[in-house]
Structure 1
């Protein structure tokens, strides 16, 4: 009937058949011949041959000694799903701490020789700091970057500062490389890193180091300057929370 909203969906038969073949191949980790896969998928053998050739060409299947098994492309699909699940887990964790503590929560890692902001959880009532100057280039000026740089060895730290020289971002920023290196050398591995208006006027931030495989990582919070008295109690609450969920957090951000 015209205007009906209950029309059956348009299905592509060749896609359905190809998926059935992949399912059949997945049931045989050591591979199976075309005839066996066609029979398991309920597909005529000539049609199965055409689909198997296409799936093999696209790397969704691999053929060895006449047997078909799942190929690398299927693995990439699975990895993509895992990455998305990890991101969701991380975002859920940050949102939990955001709601529990009532502050914006950030997560960053040092990956491929650069500072990478992985996730942020904030609300309209507790907004995150606006990235008005590139976080990668201003790591010396914000708590996230200082915490990450403090976890690097001396050579990696100096290499980073060669590529991203220390330059004052606000009147409160560290003024030069020597002063920054002295400050970083005094930061112990489990210590909280605090910066006050060094990246953004009117904002104070605190970051704690976390473990994410072999990568340096950090979780941080920020507050308006007029709420500075909340900063240390809030970051201590976060640190205890991270300690209880460290395994989940490390798994989530090691991507």
Structure 2
């Protein structure tokens, strides 16, 4: 009776090591992983050796470890599945706001767009599915960052940097943390031309699913005005909650 429990414990420990490697965002030593996970060094080494053999982890010439190529395939399949589930909810957002609706997920330190339903306006926003962007300058990125403790946000932006893409991009850590506090209180994030001049985006995190994801609506500043934002924000929160409930129902 103890073998299944041991098997489950082994899987849990292996997945924790994958999470630790992802959190680092750069190659990491086995000793660091063992210390952070609380595992004995031989156990961490044995699990990593198995993950390397399966392709989920790579061991570099420096003997440090990074995520392996086999995870890319899993991530792509997971993104497509979540994007398909989100499509009717994105369509509702387009119907209710008139603007392009997006679903994005966090992938290590970056944000990747996995689904989109375009606006019916002739002038509309378009983001390539699979495009990866930095989180500090996007509505979806800041929505997901708002769900992390400040210490994790600090560690993440130290790894990625906070480059200015426009003259409105937040490039100061203190200003970013203040914006995240506002997002937590208000319920939605705003990108006011911080990634692209003339484009405004409102986004909300998808809560309660265990998935780091966000829904957003984007369009030209001329249409997504502050007044429109006060209408769109609550709509995003409502539809994101319904999407999260549907995801949990599927998983159950």
The TM-score range, normalised by the shorter chain, is: 0.5 to 0.7
Which stretch of structure 1 is more off in the superposition, 162-171 or 209-218? Answer: 209-218
1:139 aligns with 2:135: yes
Match of 1:171 in 2: 167
Say if 2:222 is the partner of 1:233: no
CA distance 1:87–1:201, shift in 2 (3 Å): closer
- Aligned counterpart, 2:44: none
Q: In structure 1, what is the Cα distance between the partners aligned to 2:241 and 2:152?
A: 27
Partner of 1:247: 245
Distance, in Å, in 2 between the alignment partners of 1:151 and 1:236 is 18
State the match for 2:35 in structure 1: none
Quick one: distance in 2 between partners of 1:249 and 1:128?
Answer: 26
The equivalent of 1:70 in structure 2 is none
Q: TM-score, normalised by structure 1?
A: 0.57
Cα root mean square deviation, aligned: 3.0
Aligned residues: 171
Larger radius of gyration between Structure 1 and Structure 2: 1
State the distance in 2 between where 1:105 and 1:191 align: 17
Identify which of 106, 114, 124 aligns with 1:127: 124
- Distance of 1:81 and 1:164 partners within structure 2: 26
Structure 1 residue 161, shift from structure 2 partner: 0.6
Distance 1:104 1:251, change over 3 A: farther
Name the structure 2 match of 1:159.
Answer: 155
Indicate yes or no: 2:181 matched with 1:200: no
Q: Secondary structure at the match of 1:109?
A: strand
Distance in 2 of aligned mates of 1:109 and 1:83: 8
Decide which of 104, 113, 128 is 1:108's aligned counterpart.
Answer: 104
Cα distance, 1:85 vs structure 2: 5.5
**1:99, distance to aligned residue in structure 2 (A):** 2.5
Please give the TM-score of this superposition, normalised by the length of structure 2: 0.58
Deviations 1:180-223 (A, max 9, x none): 12322443266111121111111111111222532332111112
Structure 1 unaligned regions, length at least 5 = 1-79
Structure 2 runs not aligned, ≥5 long: 1-75
Task: Give the corresponding residue for 2:183.
Answer: 187
Instruction: Pick closer, same or farther for the CA change 1:167–1:203 going to 2, 3 Å.
Output: same
Higher helix share: 2
Indicate if the aligned counterparts of 1:93 and 1:249 stay in contact, CA closer than 8 A.
Answer: no
Distance 2:242 2:127 in 1: 29
Conserved in 1, the CA contact under 8 Å of 2:103 and 2:116? Answer: yes
| Shift of residue 94, structure 1, vs aligned partner | 1.2
